A and B are shown apart, each in its own frame.
Chain A
Amino acid sequence: MHAVLMMILQRLGLGILTLFVVSVVIFGATELLPGDLASSLLGQSATPETVAALRQQMGLDQPAPVRYWTWLTGVVQGDFGVSLATRRPISDMMSMRLGNTVFLALYAAAIAVPLSLVLGILAALWRNSLFDRVANAGALSAISFPEFFVAYILIFLLAQSGVFPSMVRISPAMGLTDKLYVTFLPALTLTLVVTAHMMRMTRAAIINLMASPYIEMARLKGVSPLRIVLRHALPNALAPIINVVALNLAYLITGVVVVEVVFVYPGLGQLMVDSVAKRDIAVVQAIALIFASAYVLLNLTADVLSTLTNPRLMRRK
């Protein structure tokens, strides 16, 4: 167990370093974008005088390294600061949206992960059967369509007939059943988008092992095919599957802005896009850090889990 703990600590240290690099890169990238917050806030009505006055009010007349340092010292003390655009505390702005994003990601994952594992295992079990082909073709077509197209098709089929709402109006006060009902369409869209990747990885990893001598041994001693897959092949195939699941979970948290727009879902993606458009760097940085943390933590979890599933890695010195 000691080795695992060491690895977690090491990874967390590296993760913090990654977050720091990400924040520098994001800050630099937003600096490169043309225009700044003052001019985008005023838009068409920006005149040199009002822009100058606004810039001074917001501290945008300071040099970039100074602004970065002020921001960094704040974040290290746990203070994300206030949005430059709205003057609201960033933690307030993000908390509800982060909750929504995580809720939707978990909802979609709760459908997609079991679904793709079962489909993948069955597809491996009945390789080259009609079921395998249909499942593959279906999953691949779903992933090949752009997300918004899948979303519109679902709206056309399920929302215009009045079964599910086309627009998600979600509030913290809602009960879980209501929440699950109103967010069903976006969750289904995301499920369709991520299932193919996980399912095909599961199938490929298992089929890969099915050619191994020890599987042949099991087959020769008369073990049933289902038992071979579940008892003998699957444990050894877990590492790649776990990695792919982690990657897809990270995607569900960070990459769903298109789905958010189509279903009017108030998640972090929309906030990120709005903030980039307005050059509200403080908010962009905060969200980027959350997204980067999601990647770091999910990858860490995936690594730890795959190590735990593989005794050889546990013993390695």
Chain B
Amino acid sequence: MHNKPTRNSVTRRGLLKGATALGAAGLILPASYRAAQATPNQGGTFRIGLGHGNSTDGYDPGLWDNLYAQVFAASRHNQLIEVDADGQLAPEIAESWESPDGKTWVFRIREGVSFHSGKTVTVEDVIASLNHHRGDDATSAIKQFFDPVTDISADGQNVVVTLDAPNGDFAYLMSDYHLAIMPSVDGRIDPASTDGCGPYVVESYEPGVQASLTRNPDYWKSDRAHFDRVEILAILDSAARLNALMTGQVDLIDQIDPATIGMLEARNVANILSIPGNAHYVFPMDSRAAPFNDNNVRLALKYAIDRQEMVDKILGGHGAVSNDNPIGPANRYFHADMEAKTFDPDRARFHLREAGMESLSVDLHVADAAFSGAVDAGALFAETAAQSGININLVREPNDGYWDNVWMQKPFCASYWGGRAVEDHMFTTGYATGASWNDSFWSNERFDELLVMARSEINEDLRREMYQEMQQIVSFEGSVIIPMNNNFVMATAQNVVTPEQVSANWNLDGFRCVERWWFA
């Protein structure tokens, strides 16, 4: 198995074309906007206002958990592998990679790249950067990625990673945003250092306030990083963010409240980008607890939700209906032909009767910490479910401590996923039996079996079949209601130019807006 980025290109491209067409339809761009894209201009100070960032944010890559940390990291660091705007793996610090059997992965480290401090990036730096997330005493959020890793060693200019079982998608995991390449000091990285080999050099950083960076004059990518300076500001209040953009104090903001998009458009001072991706909002049900241990109850709830109305009202149209499928249209093996679940009160009643019930009453625990609009979404769900004899009692929880006290604690609640570029990544973290983020505590023998088989399957068609069967199982037997895929909605000043294709992998062009965008 040779995992140069061109592998799978035929099928993946075909799928992606479809996804791109979908994406283009979702993009709200003035006609002149796209025409203005020629050769990138150099220069300018790019000021980003983000609705994230706390004074408690640290430097440790294992603990990066919000968009501020992610964009700040992408501004100063490189990774082994980058996910490009088309969703394909692209070489970054790893020049190329291959695996003969899916068990041994060889990453060839690019030569002649240096850190901001002037030190050359070596194989040792890469190993130390990976090992930071590995081992019993690691505190990294992606520790589990390295559970199957038995050894990481150097071989000349190569880093060799050995797994205990084949995984055809291991290279994808190496594109995770936590895996920044940082300089090694005595075999370990210093998690408090801001030194990296990325596009911009940190000039100053005040957590929860702002970071200022200047262009790395020695950046090895000649066609990237077009701004002279980047400033990343934490602006938590959504009205303050909008004001900052409208009064020209920042050039890009994220998280636009759907209710204000119309007004912003009418003002004609900003461009709004709405990028469909794999991110989705969910209502997980504890499949061990009654009544959710009966699949008929789960199906009844799935038919009692009006997905289109959710997209229209909660997302303001900036999203798409999901068929309880954690795999999105931007994924390679997305199963588009599944039987769609529409809002169908009769069918919901039918499933209730199958479960031996005439009516059903459940508590749904929500807070806007789960996703913006979660409380409204819960109310909407309760409203439509009532038509099928299902009484959803909305319990409003505080935002503070939501992930500790509600999520994975209460049997029925709200949550979100950023989506993953790879099916295996998504399923392994959220749906495999016993997975740490399996928030519905769901277990399905056939699903687990397929998951392991698909991981090491080399035949593309068989693999597709397996992943599609898994999506079918999750959708119709799973214990998570996934009503919608939310778009990444952002707004830029009118002089900001984005490339033809903006990544759907993560928000803000896969966090890479700082090195992919430029000023007109």
Contacts and interface: CB of A to CB of B under 8 A. Distances in A.
Interface stretch (B180-188, B376-384, B388-396, B401-409): B401-409
Nearest to B59: A86
A44 B407 contact: yes
A166 B244 contact: yes
A97 to B, nearest CB: 8
Contacts of B49: 167
| Chain A interface category by residue count | 35 or more
B137 interface: yes
8 contacts: A43-B403, A45-B437, A49-B136, A85-B56, A88-B207, A152-B239, A262-B239, A270-B55
B173 to A, nearest CB: 15
Interface in B223-257: 233-237, 239-240, 243-244, 246-247, 249-250
A315 interface: no
Contact of B208 (A49, A162, A274): A274
A83 interface: yes
A101 B369 CA distance: 28
Interface string A119-163: 000000000000000000000000000000000100100011010
A16 B235 CA distance: 37
B192 interface: yes
Given A160-B246, A274-B55, A274-B208, A261 B139 contact: no
Interface stretch (B28-36, B140-148, B343-351, B462-470): B140-148
B308 to A, nearest CB: 27
Interface in A5-41: 33-35, 39-41
A264 B377 CA distance: 29
Given A34-B401, A54-B139, A167-B243, A266 B65 contact: no
Given A44-B415, A54-B139, A165-B249, 14 more contacts: A34-B405, A41-B56, A41-B58, A41-B63, A42-B65, A44-B437, A47-B143, A49-B136, A53-B137, A86-B57, A167-B233, A167-B235, A261-B236, A266-B208
A86 B58 contact: yes
Interface of A: 33-35, 39-50, 53-54, 57, 83, 85-88, 93, 96-97, 152, 155, 159-160, 162, 165-167, 169, 261-264, 266, 270-271, 274-278, 280, 283
Which residue of A45, A47, A85 has the most chain B CB atoms within 10 A of its CB atom? A45
Contacts of A57: 137, 139
Nearest to A277: B400
A261 B207 contact: no
Given A35-B404, A43-B403, A162-B247, A93 B141 contact: no
Contact of A275 (B56, B249, B400): B56
Contact of B141 (A34, A50, A277, A280): A50
Contacts of A280: 56
A93 B54 CA distance: 12
Nearest to B247: A166
Contacts of A87: 58, 192
Contacts of B359: none
